[in-house]
Structure 1
Amino acid sequence: MSASDPREASALPPHWVVVTALSLLLGLQPVATDLYLPALPQMPASLGVSAAAVQWTLSVLVLAFGIAQLFWGPVSDRLGRRPVLMAGLALFVLASVATVLAPGLGVLVVARAAQGVGLAAALVCARAMIRDLYTPEQGAHVLSQGLSGLGVIALVGPIIGGITAASLGWRTTLALLGVFALASLVFIWRRLPETLPQHRRQQGLSARQRLAQWHGIVRQPMFRAYTTLTSSTYGGLYVFLAASSFAFIEVLQVSRPVFGMVMASMSLFYLGGTLLCRRWLPHRGLTGTVRVGAMCSLTGGLWCAGLSAWTLATDTLPSPWAVMPGLWIYAIGHGLHQPCSQAGVVASFPHQAGAASALSGFIMCWIAFGISAVLAVWMKTPGMAGTLHPLTLGVGLGGAITAWVALGLVQRHGRPAVEQHAVS
């Protein structure tokens, strides 16, 4: 429970409800991306556009997701988490219907942007309600449980997506996103109570006051450290999400169901990382757990960069499974970093958790959008087009930057100014 607002254990939602809600809300992000990736190579021929143009269905989702968080975060601090969750999930469901019925790329891109807006509400509130209920280290522990649930969802999703795309096509695959969001909406409506007490809600702020609030949040060293960490580790993962379907299906010639297994294996190792995080947090703390994650990020990145060097030296494509060890190690590191960084982002802001969560997410998504723009150019550049280099060099760079942040900024500024304790 929050150190700034001690609450009796009986006043907290049941633990299984919190963990299930976190799993569903956080799991909506990989469902919105990973599940449809096996269908991505089908879209250019169906819609009559280039492979680079289809990348906008992912890029615009991330862009809308980032911008919308700046709206939903303050709204959830004022109105509470529950109404924002209900509105965001309902929007995601309606946008999913539009993606299935889209006659062309333009409508599909607009509908994906609307999904990004709904997704933003889900993730902002999921991260913020952790600070509503728990202290930073308790929150990281509970969040690791929710992210383990996300890992299971992400494990099953790409397999289902690959089979569905191969047998029923990309439109049916996109319909599954709406089904998942609808199930999440029903669970939140039936089971999750409001987590933000009335006396901790903020009054409406003017534009100048809002800018001053964000400025104050950004000046907090712990916020900067963990926002940079979550952005860098997600940046490397985003390279995988954006480039992997073309790298594996088009370059390495694996089937869509097998690519679904590749995606599922990434989720399995990510799940392993969250389980290790849960085990090590009580003994190593946030910064100690992040140190181990840094070694995984760096090792995985070096493996991928080394494959690019080997490919250039031998002019030979590696086996698909030779690519995987580096990606798996990176995924373990991502599973260690994410619970720590997402809990650390809101740790210093018990009364502004929604705004802090939103600002961090906005920064992360703009970085991901920038990466997608570079990838779109990279994937058309002679010497890069039709190769593994956008994937392997991108993940390699992401691993190096993540390790630098984790071993530098986070070690200097990653501990709460005042160690807080609460009754579990």
Structure 2
Amino acid sequence: MQAASPAPAAPMPPGWVVVFLSLLLGVQPLATDLYLPALPAITAAFDAPMAKVQATLTALLLSFGAAQLVWGPVSDRYGRRPVLLAGLAAYTLASIGNALAASIEQLILWRIVQGAAMGAAVMGARAIVRDLYQPVEGARMMSKGLSGLGIFACISGPLGGWLTEHFGWRVTLAALAVFSAVALALVALRFRETLPARNPRALQPREMLTIWSRIARHPTFWAWALLAATSYGGLFTFLATSSFVFITVLGLTKTQYGLLMLSMSLVYIAGTILCRRLIPRVGVRRTVAIAAGFTLAGGTLCGLLAHLGWHGTWTIMGPYYLFILAHGVHQPCGQSGAVSPFPQAAGAASALAGFIMMLTAFGMGTWLGLTMSTGPDAGVYPLTNGLWFWAVAIAAVAWILVQRHGEVRTQPQPAATR
């Protein structure tokens, strides 16, 4: 039986596709990078232990990952547009709640809601790429969207530091509501449905189990999903520890820290541009293999310099620039590659890949919360050792799993949706 299809609509111009990908993917770094300079102020305002303050980040990411498992099948059933509208509306509401929180427990609760809403936007962005593009072009288009994400990340660090220093952490968190309200308005006015054929059975338990099982058994999915997850694990380690290391341990001001985040984001954007340049020349898998060399060099150098006693801003940031440059390659290739074999279940595949990424971040965040509970005595090692660990893991995935299983072979369409 032919699946029900959305009403035909003229395709969106590629420029608008890039705008929407940038906005939808950009909600994630804004939810993390913008408030990182505010973490010490939030800790002082609520007189909260480090573990609870760390939970404002880990809880956001866990709910973000888990919610995608719901949003994915819902978007395969009803389309991308209604899911994006609901998610962005909830994100705006949660951002207001964050700014008005009266306790650290309330802040954690609103961050959970924000993370769940964020899952709709980011899952939708990955699914949109698969709806509209074949695998190789999808990786290049995803890199353009992630370049836009990098621009928002560039803005987030300095803006978060400046707002926190001059207006306080509540204004910093309220800024997220302004961004999400603008994104919601643009989606409502300009976004056109991209799902080519809805699956009317996508939310039936038996059909969902069949789809999840088919995705989970696909080695190409795991190769690319693990690349995205390990690369994000390295980024998350930096995000979760950097404000503590640079502000508390190394003595930088919030504004100086924001400028470091700006420089990191600029290097990341350069990585996404490098990704687009390399793919047509050497292919997706070789592009990833080359980038993994930068990853391993950066992570290893960062760890070794710390163990030699060189604890300074640039002995960390110099090697990390190599790591984050490669991250700009691994993420577009990993995120688009994971959904590429499943054109009829892009929402579900995007959701599972996102869940794996966030489960990785939650596990790392839990470990970091325990490691950093000793305060300044922990020094730079949670950051430098964490980056070294993830560099080795990324290189192993890129050089072994991706090279063996990274070639995309599209799964046959199941009979239920034909």
Band of TM-score, shorter chain? over 0.9
Q: Which residue of 2 aligns with 1:422?
A: none
Contact 1:90 1:185 in 2 (8 A): yes
SS in 2 for 1:56: helix
Q: CA deviation at 1:203?
A: 2.1
Contact 1:41 1:51 in 2 (8 A): no
Q: Which residue of 1 aligns with 2:109?
A: 110
Match of 1:282 among 280, 283, 296: 280
Contact 2:79 2:198 in 1 (8 A): no
Q: Which residue of 1 aligns with 2:48?
A: 49
Q: Which residue of 2 aligns with 1:22?
A: 21
Contact 1:73 1:354 in 2 (8 A): yes
Give the whole-Å Cα distance in 1 for the aligned partners of 2:86 and 2:233.
28
Q: CA RMSD for the aligned pairs?
A: 1.5
SS in 2 for 1:249: helix
Give the whole-Å Cα distance in 2 for the aligned partners of 1:418 and 1:372.
35
Note the 1:31-110 alignment, pairs <5 A. 31-110=30-109
Matched, 1:217 2:215: yes
Q: CA deviation at 1:381?
A: 5.0
Note the 1:187-266 alignment, pairs <5 A. 187-197=186-196, 199-266=197-264
Q: Which residue of 2 aligns with 1:3?
A: none
Superposed CA offset, 1:130-185 (max 9, x none): 01000001111111111111111111111111000111111110011111111111
Using the TM superposition, name which of 115-124 and 409-418 deviates more.
409-418
Give the whole-Å Cα distance in 1 for the aligned partners of 2:105 and 2:372.
22
Tell me the TM-score normalised to structure 2 length.
Answer: 0.94
| Aligned length, in residue pairs | 403
Contact 2:65 2:357 in 1 (8 A): yes
Contact 2:50 2:372 in 1 (8 A): no
Q: Which residue of 1 aligns with 2:311?
A: 318
Matched, 1:349 2:348: no
Q: Which residue of 1 aligns with 2:329?
A: 336
Tell me which amino acid in the other structure corresponds to 2:355.
F
Superposed CA offset, 1:286-345 (max 9, x none): 10110111111101111111122112xxxxx53212211111110001001111111101
Tell me which amino acid in the other structure corresponds to 2:387.
V
Give the whole-Å Cα distance in 1 for the aligned partners of 2:408 and 2:44.
52
Contact 2:341 2:410 in 1 (8 A): no
User: Quick one: percent identity of the two aligned structures?
Assistant: 47
Contact 1:229 1:405 in 2 (8 A): yes
Q: Which residue of 2 aligns with 1:120?
A: 119
Q: Which residue of 1 aligns with 2:5?
A: none
Q: CA deviation at 1:208?
A: 3.5
Using the TM superposition, name which of 394-403 and 410-419 deviates more.
410-419
Give the whole-Å Cα distance in 1 for the aligned partners of 2:200 and 2:145.
27
Give the whole-Å Cα distance in 2 for the aligned partners of 1:339 and 1:266.
17
Q: Which residue of 1 aligns with 2:4?
A: none
Contact 2:33 2:239 in 1 (8 A): yes
Tell me which amino acid in the other structure corresponds to 1:231.
A
Superposed CA offset, 1:213-249 (max 9, x none): 2111011111010011000000011000100000000
User: Which segments of structure 1 move beyond 6 Å, counting only runs of 4 or more?
Assistant: none
Matched, 1:387 2:379: yes
Contact 1:80 1:201 in 2 (8 A): no
Q: Which residue of 2 aligns with 1:161?
A: 160
Q: CA deviation at 1:367?
A: 1.1
Give the whole-Å Cα distance in 1 for the aligned partners of 2:372 and 2:151.
31
Q: Which residue of 2 aligns with 1:367?
A: 360
Q: Which residue of 2 aligns with 1:402?
A: 394
Contact 1:67 1:362 in 2 (8 A): yes
Give the whole-Å Cα distance in 2 for the aligned partners of 1:381 and 1:219.
42
Give the whole-Å Cα distance in 1 for the aligned partners of 2:253 and 2:179.
25
Q: Which residue of 2 aligns with 1:327?
A: 320
Unaligned regions of 5+ residues in structure 2, if any?
1-8, 412-418
Q: CA deviation at 1:96?
A: 0.6
Q: CA deviation at 1:201?
A: 3.2
